[in-house]
Structure 1
Amino acid sequence: MTSRPEPPVRPAVRVTLAQLSVGPDREANVLVARDALRTAARARADVVVLPEYASAFDPRGVGIELAEPLDGPFVSALRADAAAHGLTVVAGTTLPGGEPGPDGRPRGVNAVVAVAPTGEIAGVYRKVHLYDAFGQRESERLAPGPADAPPLVVEAAGLRFGVLTCYDLRFPESARRLVDAGADVLVVPAAWAAGPLKAMHWRALAVARAIENTAAVVAVGQAGKGVVGRSLVVGPDGVVGLEADEEPQVRTVDLDADEMHAVRERNPSLTHRRYAVVPRD
């Protein structure tokens, strides 16, 4: 009989990274997500992070046809299991209700939902930077979130987790805005598209966002066709403490809150800033 892992020794915060392979079958995706939450609970995690588009994914593009509302089966299952296991859950999904595109066709919204350990929705981040790059046109299928929406920062076990997603990682202003709102950890659910240099960009950008913000980065990539996987955890000093390969897997790490705060004392670069981050019109 395998013994249950010991709970984290405070001030550590235990985080589970669920690098899942996701397809268009919504019912199957709910089962995979729930299994990841059970794994996180067995590991005595405080927080579990699922990738972008965890509710449904098509590597050719995600749009309104894969969207479901916040009271739909996917988020409802996350809420029920978060409450049952006492977990904070961060997961990517696609919501209906986006503004129509220039051609008048309806669009969905690429969103990240944060669920509190009570099962209540703690917040929803709607992706600001759509992936219109490297030959992709996410904006044809999805509408952007408002750039001036309040940053989504949720507290769990004494640390504050700021949420962005995938292509946002290429925009340092997004991460800095979350840190200005109090984030100690940057959480990045992603379905990072595969291609030349893309895995290298993913890793380099996660490390850069950690160093420049003296914040930990928990970057959770989707595994499978057309995406790179390669989830990683970066400390506020830029040291990569966990790095996955391309295969589906669930990994758990402890973040040392005291050490994270000590890094900011040793390197007070945030206090030396001379410029603020403000949304563009």
Structure 2
Amino acid sequence: MMRIALCQISSTADPQENLALLRAQVATAAAEGARIVQFPEATQCRFGVPLTPMAEPLDGPWATAVREIADEHDVVVVAGMFTPGEAGRVTNTTLVTGAGLHLGYAKIHLFDAFGFRESDSVTPGDKPVTFEVDGTTLGLATCYDVRFPELFRALADTAPVILLGASWGAGPGKADQWDLLVRARALDATSWVLACGQADPDADYGSAPTGIGRSAVVDPLGTVRARLGGAPGMLLSDVDVAAVEEARRTLPVLANRRL
């Protein structure tokens, strides 16, 4: 078993405020025995503001502070931030830090849909990223990535657990799509999918995707084990990594695929 905490927060436009929120959430999760503390996409700063001034490298002050918090509580923290990109853009990065780890995943699929153009301000990544904690390999995905099953199948080759951070855009049908897609990707990969989203904010930020909540823990056969609503909250889940092997014997889609 690996205990993972999903911290469904509502980020502000102030990275220091968000860092203080992260610090408090990590302390609470660690006290409950979490080994990994997962935060959503855009934890460092919400969407809907200029992102270039917010961008910092992985060895910059914000990510370094997160590493210090993780090390203080002997956990691994996973949190969305923005690092410098190309041609004045940023990279939408998932930071993984603590327990000797300090790395980032650059979001591959950018949200150019539903009237929003993430690619105008964000440089895409180009490769999947996994990491190991206590002998278990975990994969990373970010928000719009959930619409692309090929990424999840690639991660599933080595990762029985996939952590998905999001700042999902609101709108007609979007909550249903999120719920469906998270479950579908767990079935595609026959892996655990732990989907941590930004909470539904009180304010209206226009077309910026600032979150609807609905963080969820989904098992390798697509069953939702736990889910939050729209408000801020924390899910603590004991993930049975061994259940993946049994699921893949029962539903061997990875072994049976031909393309």
- Scaled by the length of structure 2, the TM-score of the pair is 0.93
> 1:62 deviation in Å?
5.2
> 1:27 deviation in Å?
1.0
2:151 equivalent in structure 1: 174
1:40 equivalent in structure 2: 29
Query: Aligned pair 1:163/2:151, yes or no?
Result: no
Mapped to 2, the partners of 1:264 and 1:39 lie a distance apart of 34
- Asked whether the 8 Å contact 1:24–1:66 carries over to 2, the reply is no
- Of residues 1, 5, 13, the one that matches 1:24 is 13
User: One-letter code of the match for 1:165?
Assistant: T
Mapped to 2, the partners of 1:117 and 1:264 lie a distance apart of 29
- After TM superposition, the structure 1 = structure 2 runs for residues 69-218 of structure 1, keeping only pairs within 5 Å, are 69-96=57-84, 98-100=85-87, 106-118=88-100, 120-121=101-102, 123-146=103-126, 149=127, 151-180=128-157, 182-218=158-194
User: One-letter code of the match for 2:229?
Assistant: D
- Asked whether the 8 Å contact 2:166–2:211 carries over to 1, the reply is no
Task: Kindly name which structure, 1 or 2, has the bigger radius of gyration based on alpha carbons.
Answer: 1
The percent identity for this pair of structures is 39
Write the deviation string for residues 150-198 of structure 1: whole angstroms up to 9, x where unpaired.
x211122342210010000001111111112x01011101101111111
Mapped to 1, the partners of 2:238 and 2:154 lie a distance apart of 25
- Asked whether the 8 Å contact 2:15–2:44 carries over to 1, the reply is yes
Mapped to 1, the partners of 2:237 and 2:56 lie a distance apart of 31
Write the deviation string for residues 229-277 of structure 1: whole angstroms up to 9, x where unpaired.
11001000111001000011122110112222211122222111111xx
- Asked whether the 8 Å contact 1:61–1:138 carries over to 2, the reply is no
Structure 1's consecutive aligned runs of 4 or more residues displaced over 4 angstroms after TM superposition are none
1:9 equivalent in structure 2: none
User: One-letter code of the match for 2:145?
Assistant: D
Tell me how many residue pairs correspond in the alignment: 251
Provide the secondary structure at the position in 2 that maps to 1:217. Answer: strand
> 1:73 deviation in Å?
2.9
Provide the secondary structure at the position in 1 that maps to 2:154. Answer: helix
- Of residues 35, 40, 43, the one that matches 1:51 is 40
- Asked whether the 8 Å contact 2:152–2:188 carries over to 1, the reply is no
Provide the secondary structure at the position in 1 that maps to 2:181. Answer: helix
Closer/same/farther in 2, CA of residues 25 and 138 from structure 1, 3 Å limit: same
User: One-letter code of the match for 1:90?
Assistant: V
Mapped to 1, the partners of 2:98 and 2:154 lie a distance apart of 22
> 1:125 deviation in Å?
0.8
- Asked whether the 8 Å contact 2:190–2:247 carries over to 1, the reply is yes
- Asked whether the 8 Å contact 1:30–1:73 carries over to 2, the reply is no
